[in-house]
Amino acid sequence: MTLLNSLRYGFSREDPGSSAANVDGSDESQPLPGYDRINVKHLIPDLSKHSQVELTAIDTYERSHKKRPPVFDKLRYLRGKEPLQDYDTLSVEEILAGLEGADIATLRKTRVYERKFQRRPDVLEKVAAALHGDRPASARRG
C-alpha cells in the first residue's frame, strides 16, 4: 500500500502482502511481543513510548519484514540522538541533574526530544526555565 493510499483510505488496512511469521506472534525475532499482529493504526501512536534502542530494532525488523511506509515515516520522525547519554534510561531526577549547567543547544535538544516522547512536566519546566534565563551565567554561553 502506498503512502498516498494509506492517507486516502486510512492506516487500518493491513498490507495484503504481509503475513505473520507465526500465528501466535511468538516469533522471537520480533522487536516487541506480538509485533506482527499489531495493526499500523495502533502501532504508530505507540512508537513514541519506546526507547531509541527499541526503535532501532523496530526499524530493522520492519525493513526486513513488513516494509510499511507509514511506520517508516514515524520512525524517521522519532529516531535520533538522545540529548544526554543514555537519556532513555535515566530517571527524571537524573535528567534534571544532567541538565545542570547545560548549554542552550543541549537544552533545546532536550525540549524537542522530551516533547516527542515522554512529555514529563518536571523536565519541560526545567528546560523552559533554563532557556528563559533562570540559570547560572556560565551556562548561558552556547
pLDDT tens per residue, range 77-118:
999 999 999 999 999 999 999 999 999 999 999 999 999 998
Looking at the structure, tell me whether residues 95 and 130 fall in a common domain: yes
Residue 131, helix vs strand vs coil = helix
Q: Which residue has the cell 526530544?
A: 113
**How many structural domains are present in the chain?**
2
User: Which residue in 26, 48, 39 sits closest to 68, CA to CA?
Assistant: 39
Please report which residue ranges of 17-116 form alpha helices under DSSP H.
Answer: 40-46, 52-64, 69-78, 92-99, 104-116
Q: Which residues contact 83 (CB under 8 A, 6 or more apart)?
A: 106, 109, 110, 113
Looking at the structure, tell me whether residues 60 and 95 fall in a common domain: no
Q: Decide if 59 contacts 79 (C-beta within 8 A).
A: yes
pLDDT tens, residue by residue, 17-39: 343 334 444 556 899 899 999 99
Final residue belonging to a domain, choices 57, 78, 99: 78
Q: Decide if 80 contacts 108 (C-beta within 8 A).
A: no
CA–CA dist 99, 94 (Å, integer):
9
Domain that holds residue 107: 87-139
The terminus-to-terminus CA distance of the chain in angstroms comes to 45
- Confirm whether pTM is higher than 0.75: no
Looking at the structure, tell me whether residues 125 and 62 fall in a common domain: no
